[in-house]
Amino acid sequence: MRTKQLFAVMSGMLVLCSGGPAQAAGFYLPEVGTPGSVGTAGVANPTNTWGPDSTLTNPAGMVWMDERAMTLGLMTLLPSMEFDPDIAEAGGSDGGNAGGTAIVPSMFASRRFTDRWAIGVGLAAPQGGGVDYGSDFAGRYGATKVELLAFGLTTALGYRVTDRLSLGAGATIIKTTLNQNIAINFANADDGIAKIKDAEDWGVQPYAGLQYHFTDSVVLGLVYRAEFDAELEGDVKLRNLPIPVGLDSDIEVDWTNPQWLEAGLRFGSPEDIGWGFAVSGGWQEWSKFSDNQISVDGFIDGGDGAVSTIDRKWDDTWYAGVAAYRNTGKFLMSFGVSYDSSPVEDENRTIDLPFDETYKISGSFGWHGKGVASYYLGATLYIFGDSKIDQTAQGVRFTGEFDPNAILFLSATVRLNPARRKSAF
């Protein structure tokens, strides 16, 4: 009987990431360590024609750039997220600040080798998140520690069809790694521990972009990213169990990373002295992610294991934002605000994925150095909803909300541009 209970617990381990550095609409990150992304809350991404990170944000923008450009960036994530429990039937702590500091590097390079063709490459973390509540957490039977790491290598091509229209396409090869701990509830015994260890998969996400220049200063950008399946395979280790059962096994966790459509409009160019403005909005099909599947082999009486599926009842999300930038000829500044809707209603939210609506406020400041280098500092503050939780996990109910619930992104970027122009981003 207890082995059946154990499998029920393991089937509940369909968690991917928590309120860590990707708590906006799901776990896609529009901030890729560049001032055009961090300093505008991602609003400028679809109409990017000035930074080699257009390789990832919209490859159609590469053909409007200088002949060669490169950026090297470093982004630090500083979360402040603490769960405030109202009801904790199993007792336990609030987990303290569950978010951990992370440092994420990035690199982008582009080359326009004819008047019509351009190519770009990039390294960045397009997805990710993590949380550590501690082993005595009030919601430990839902999750105690979750870490999702995704790092991608991107290649893309851009082509200028006419003097006004450009197209681009690319693909990001993403390595995803999942680590997760969950406490196992056994009556009249100390908690057991289940750990998913290094569940990994390689996936490819293709994408395509379009830009249309109505005038030199009015630009429309469209970007579509296709869905791709993640099938993570790794080990599950069981410890401190009061029953005879295999301690190590194989596990596979499957989900679908959703498709993503975004559009942007820009008025003015960051290349020109003066003010410019941008707006953007988008849609992500997080309802496709909602069904998660887990399969575990070998830990139940030496058997072949079984497969379980859970519906998280997630919905599609949308976002919208506005940004402004100013080029003084010497200094370069940007500001942006945006809003992301929540993928899940309060009554369906779980502690492993407590996503909620997100407000973003951002800014960046840059200056031209001597020679071919420019330097930029940027910041984006994520302010989340309270992420209310009312969950019963392994027969134990806990309720509460997150307060505070925010993440600060800080970035530093160096741009190298041999064909020196005073570019804002």
- Tell me what pLDDT residue 342 has: 95
Identify whether 425 is part of a domain.
no
Region 122-144 average pLDDT: 88
303-322: pLDDT as tens digits: 455 567 778 899 999 999 99
Q: CA 84 to CA 399: how far, in whole Å?
A: 9
Task: Report the 3 state secondary structure along 177-246.
Answer: EEEEEEEECCCCCCCEEEEEEEEEEEEEEEEEEEEEECCCCEEEEEEEECCEEEEEEEEEEEECCCCCCC
- Tell me what pLDDT residue 4 has: 52
Determine the 3-state secondary structure of 348 from DSSP.
helix
219 exposure class (CB count in 10 Å sphere: 0-12, 13-18, 19+): buried
pLDDT band, very low/low/confident/very high, at 251 (cuts 50, 70, 90): confident
330 exposure class (CB count in 10 Å sphere: 0-12, 13-18, 19+): exposed
Q: Is the pTM of this model over 0.85?
A: yes
198-213: pLDDT as tens digits: 999 999 999 999 999 9
Q: CA 384 to CA 117: how far, in whole Å?
A: 41
Identify whether 380 is part of a domain.
yes
**Share of residues in the chain with pLDDT > 90 (%):** 59
pLDDT tops 80 at residue 9: no
Count how many residues are written for the chain: 425
pLDDT band, very low/low/confident/very high, at 243 (cuts 50, 70, 90): low
pLDDT tops 50 at residue 23: no
**Share of residues in the chain with pLDDT > 70 (%):** 88
Identify whether 112 is part of a domain.
yes
CATH of the domain at 279: 2.40.160.60
350-405: pLDDT as tens digits: 888 888 999 999 999 999 877 788 999 999 999 999 999 999 998 899 999 999 99
User: Which domain covers residue 107, as residue numbers?
Assistant: 2-416
Domain count, the chain: 1
- Tell me what pLDDT residue 301 has: 47
Region 33-57 average pLDDT: 93
pLDDT tops 60 at residue 257: yes
pLDDT band, very low/low/confident/very high, at 43 (cuts 50, 70, 90): very high
pLDDT band, very low/low/confident/very high, at 13 (cuts 50, 70, 90): very low
pLDDT tops 90 at residue 93: yes
- Tell me what pLDDT residue 83 has: 94
Identify whether 64 is part of a domain.
yes
Identify whether 421 is part of a domain.
no
b/e 123-158 (16+ beta carbons within 10 angstroms → b): bbbbbbbbbbbeeebbbbbbbbbbbbbbbbebbbbb
pLDDT tops 50 at residue 108: yes
Region 136-146 average pLDDT: 92
- Tell me what pLDDT residue 17 has: 35
- Tell me what pLDDT residue 209 has: 98
Identify whether 401 is part of a domain.
yes
The mean predicted confidence, pLDDT, of the chain is 86
Farthest-apart Cα atoms in the chain, separation: 74
Contacts of residue 355, defined as CB under 8 A and 6 or more positions apart, other chains included, come to 19, 23, 24, 25, 26, 342, 343, 344, 349, 387
- Tell me what pLDDT residue 40 has: 95
Region 126-130 average pLDDT: 74
- Tell me what pLDDT residue 1 has: 42
